[in-house]
Chain A
Amino acid sequence: MTLFDGVIVVVFLIITFFIGIFFYKWVGEPDDFYLAGRQLTPFILAAVITATNVNLYSFVGQAGIAYKHGIAILWQTWTGNMALVFSGLFIIPIMRRLRIRTIPEFLEFRYDKGVRTLVGVLWVFRLAFWLGVVLYTAVVAAQAITGITSFTFWIVVFAFIAIVYTMLGGMWSVAFTDVVQFVFMLGGALIVLPLAMAAVGWMPGLIAQLPPDSLTLVRAEGTYNWKFILAIFLLGIEWASVDQGLLQRAFGAESTRSLAKGMVLAGIITTPFALLWNLPGLAAAVLFPGLENADQAIPTLLANMLPTGILGLVLCGLISSQLSTISGNLNGVATLFTNDIYESLKKRKASDREILFIARTMTLVIGILMVVFAYWVPKMGGAVEAYLTIIGIMDMPLFIVAIFYGLLWKRTTPAAAWAGYLAGALMGIYGKMVLGYDFNMTTFLSAGAALVVTPMVSLLTRPVAVEKIEIVWRARQISDEELASGHIYHIIPRTLKGRLAFASYLVGVVVFLSGVVLGHQGTPLASWVAVSGMVIYFLSALVRIYVE
């Protein structure tokens, strides 16, 4: 990296910092800090969701897997996008109508305060650990690309900027720095794609020089085969329905309708975007074969291919991807603590000023914890593997209890929620520790246990008062807020055009799943069918949210 590239990066970091602290004055009450005053519009929301979800794992880690195993890893992002659309159309609108800030808060609405506090506490630690991993990844990548090898230097740069602007401006700062960072991320990827493809002789050159299976999207065999697509799709739906970092942005939407639009748009724009970072990973396999660590594929490509100045701009894109993820999740953890632990356990109602003070202090405390975890990650060996296992064990039972039974079966009781959640988590631990299952099997086991135990305990315990459940059930219908504002959103469309789009959406699901299952035969047709189904799915969802 030259001095000129360095200057570009420093100027970018300074601009990001000042954009972030500009919004300090926009924070007057807790909802401003947590949810940007619930004023986010669909396009801003889509950029915010995308910037938070796309991080260095996408640019470096996923492109590294494409380098090693081929293009099939794209499904990790694509099925996540499909899940985002599903959740945005059917699940999160219900929660937005309840005007909640966190998923644990929803658990109190549906079950009781005990379930809310249990999940709130567990998730504060889970997200703080995730932040440590994200910060660590950012530092390692910055070291490799820039040649500045001081670990502490990069920790200070990333942590200081993200903590200060998130602490001051809360979600307003997170949202607008995310929009700017999204533009840089996309701009950087647009610079790299044609340069990488030209170097390998464009698409025909890439096809000719890669092993035949590298460009097959749905495969019969290998790590990223058709079963992987089904498993990751299921996990994607879980992620898009209960992930605090994601949902907090969605709850910041100006209306339920804007929320649905924002989530559908976010899912759609990330789909071609994923090609922009995975195709260079494949190009690196041709240009720099035999790298010991596949994660070095993109850093090697960038360092060898980009001219002075351009490298600086692309680096800004990579830094953006990580800063937006850190700041978004930092705000999420501060909200979880203040909303679900501090406010929930306090006997008297706290003033807005006090809540803001606690939320800001917690942003700082969690930021410090993130730095401690980041130093700890290299000493822990397989930290990312450990984190993925925690997701399988902790998140999947939560999805079953909160979303699957919580929204679909009135008879589910608070005791059953406790039992289902704990049974799922314990079976996950048993599968991982005793049976030695991998990440996918651990997830299926924890989900299965929660699926079986929750209804059994529900039938053995006293039903919850109907009035309590009705609050959640009524949220399926349009709210008074929607009627007053005129921004009405029907989860199941009412007009003929809307219903046709909905039917087409269902056709997309069936075609997509048929393509994936067809993958077990190893036919090239499977990839075409699955991708066609995905395209029908996205286009129908887009039409569905704009026709009504």
Chain B
Amino acid sequence: MYVDWITWSIWLLGLVILVVWIYVPYKEFKTLLAKHQNKKTSSEKPPTSSGKTT
């Protein structure tokens, strides 16, 4: 069976980029989301008697 290595090399390179760009931004998004949720939670906490948020 004939394998066109030029076409499949380009395709494979594209596939690697696709996989990396699904995995890494997803991981980075989860970190950002956690950061935003923490920020939201801390800003929603009621102030203590000293007037400071915990």
Contacts and interface: CB of A to CB of B under 8 A. Distances in A.
Interface of A: 25-26, 39, 41, 43-44, 46-47, 176, 179, 182-183, 186-187, 189-190, 193-194, 197, 202-204, 269, 272-273, 275-276, 279
Interface string B15-44: 101101110110011001001100010000
Given A39-B32, A41-B28, A43-B28, A189 B21 contact: no
B25 A273 contact: no
B17 A186 contact: yes
Nearest to A207: B6
A44 B10 contact: no
A279 B17 contact: no
Interface residues of B, number: 23
A194 B7 contact: yes
B25 A276 contact: no
Contacts of B10: 193, 272, 275-276, 279
Contacts of B2: 202
6 contacts: A43-B21, A176-B29, A183-B21, A187-B18, A203-B6, A272-B13
- Chain B's interface: helix, strand, loop or mixed, by majority? helix
B30 to A, nearest CB: 12
B25 A194 contact: no
B7 A43 contact: no
Contacts of B40: 25
Contacts of B17: 186, 269, 272-273
A203 B18 contact: no
Nearest to B22: A183
Given A25-B40, A273-B14, 20 more contacts: A26-B36, A41-B25, A41-B28, A43-B20, A43-B24, A44-B28, A47-B21, A179-B25, A183-B21, A183-B22, A190-B11, A197-B7, A202-B4, A203-B7, A204-B4, A269-B21, A272-B10, A272-B13, A272-B17, A276-B10
A183 B14 CA distance: 11
Nearest to A190: B14
Nearest to B13: A272
A190 B29 contact: no
B6 A47 contact: no
B54 to A, nearest CB: 21
B2 to A, nearest CB: 7
B29 A189 contact: no
Contacts of B20: 43
A279 B24 CA distance: 28
Given A176-B29, A272-B13, A202 B24 contact: no
Contacts of A25: 40
Contacts of A47: 21, 25
